[in-house]
Structure 1
């Protein structure tokens, strides 16, 4: 079964636009779980423009599904993981002012750095996932870091899906099979939505988890959060 982890960064963006605590990030996370989310994902950034570090601490007290914290492993991120002890820490190579994640790790150049980070995160009790491009050359070095999983960066798949879905998914199937052979768990995320999610799941049935935020929250404006989460769950239950 592929789990759906709901990224609630955009809820925090909406709250921060006005100040105060509306919408309430913690309450939305609890409601998302109640509506069927099998995990909650957050990606705190240094400027706290959406999820704040205090949000992560508050969420850790109440989230009962898998709590996944994404981010670049600077000292503040590592301290947060040590304090919060989430189910999963997802390492993303974002510079501080990136609008959103736009590439995976070069696990060849950064293998030793990532190995040390993964080892430390394991000491904190977190499962580790490394955000990675669908290029086979990065997968064995990723395995050598000691990571538990890799997360496929799916923006290129989403971009080319409307034109040629089979060509769009082909490199992902190839690296997914490679990851499976290497004994790596497999997550996926970025620009997945109600149009392209089912085909990805059909093509890679052994996906462990997808993390979806922007599209899901946008869909919730029309369909409602509970209905939207159930719609995404149905795309994965095939």
Structure 2
């Protein structure tokens, strides 16, 4: 059964827009866990525009106390700066269950592409080794859309195993867009192909980005053996109408329905 990890970045966006400590990222995360979520995801960025280093430390304590998984996403190549000690330093301090590496730049509003596995992957291999030495499971963000299935980066998803990663996370933004336009068959087929290639070399498969209650079941039915989905923007948006507990429960029911 696919596990649900809730990304609480958007809670931090709302808090930071006003200043102070409300809404509480930790309380929101605890509510999600109480409702049955299997873990919590954060994606701290160097400009601290949402999740801060202090949030990472606090959520690490919460998830450790609850005995659930903590997943930290981020660009491992972004240099430290005031208020941001760097991705590796955050992982050293908190020892998350999973570190998901994403090749985003400081200027990006959100992650929108996976790693290019062409060329020299020496630096990536060193970072993966450093994270695994901390006890972190390492996942790499990869493209899984119809166009990317024909590109070397997608054909080379097997190289994620070569650099020592444990899993890949399929970038599902293009799938969600295709679903919204009424025909996601090509996107599902492409994601399934990339997932099977990854699994064939021993990589686990996660997925995330723009997944929602509307499109999640179709994705899980079409893509084999997805271990975990991390969902934030849609889940928090839906929770504004229905409440956080009810929304998490809704996602868990959608996941179960995909396996019936």
| Cα drift, residue 198 of structure 1 | 0.2
Q: Do the aligned residues in 1 keep the contact of 2:140 with 2:165 (CA within 8 Å)?
A: yes
Which residue is equivalent to 1:28? 28
> Equivalent of 2:187, from 145, 158, 168?
168
Q: Which runs of 5+ in 2 are unaligned?
A: 80-85
From 63, 66, 69, the equivalent of 1:66 is 69
Q: Distance in 1 between matches of 2:60 and 2:88?
A: 15
Structure-2-length-normalised TM-score: 0.89
Per-residue CA deviations over 1:79-103 (Å, capped at 9, x if unaligned) read 1101100000000001112110010
RMSD of aligned alpha carbons = 1.1
Instruction: Confirm whether residue 141 of structure 1 aligns to residue 135 of structure 2.
Output: no
- The 3-state SS of whatever aligns with 1:61 is helix
Q: Is the 8 A contact 1:7 1:212 kept in 2?
A: yes
- Report which stretch shifted further, 192-201 or 162-171: 162-171
Q: CA deviation at 1:111?
A: 2.0
1-structure distance, mates of 2:57, 2:224 = 34
Q: Which residue of 1 aligns with 2:87?
A: 77
Q: Verify the 8 A CA contact 2:195 2:224 in the aligned structure 1.
A: no
Matches within 5 A, 1:58-207: 58-63=58-63, 64=66, 65-74=68-77, 76-109=86-119, 111-134=121-144, 135=149, 136-161=154-179, 162-207=181-226
Please give the TM-score of this superposition, normalised by the length of structure 1: 0.97
2:90 alignment partner, SS class? helix
Q: Map Cα deviations across residues 141-178 of structure 1 (whole Å, 9 max, x no partner).
A: 11101100000000111111132122221100111111
- Partner of 2:83 in structure 1? none
> Shift of the alpha carbon at 1:205?
3.9
Q: Which moved more, 1:132-141 or 1:76-85?
A: 132-141
- CA–CA distance in 2 between the matches of 1:2 and 1:108? 30
SS of the aligned residue for 2:21 comes to coil
Distance 1:132 1:165 in 2: 18
Partner Cα separation in structure 1 for residue 229 and residue 120 of structure 2? 25
CA drift at 1:110:
5.1
Is 1:38–1:66's contact at 8 Å kept on the other side of the alignment? yes
Which region of structure 1 is more displaced relative to structure 2, 130-139 or 176-185? 130-139
Structure 1 gaps, min length 5: none
Q: How many matched pairs? A: 238
**Alpha-carbon deviations, 1:105-145, whole Å to 9, x = none?**
11223522211111000011100000001233231111101
- Once the two structures are overlaid, the 10-residue window that deviates more, 107-116 or 191-200, is 107-116
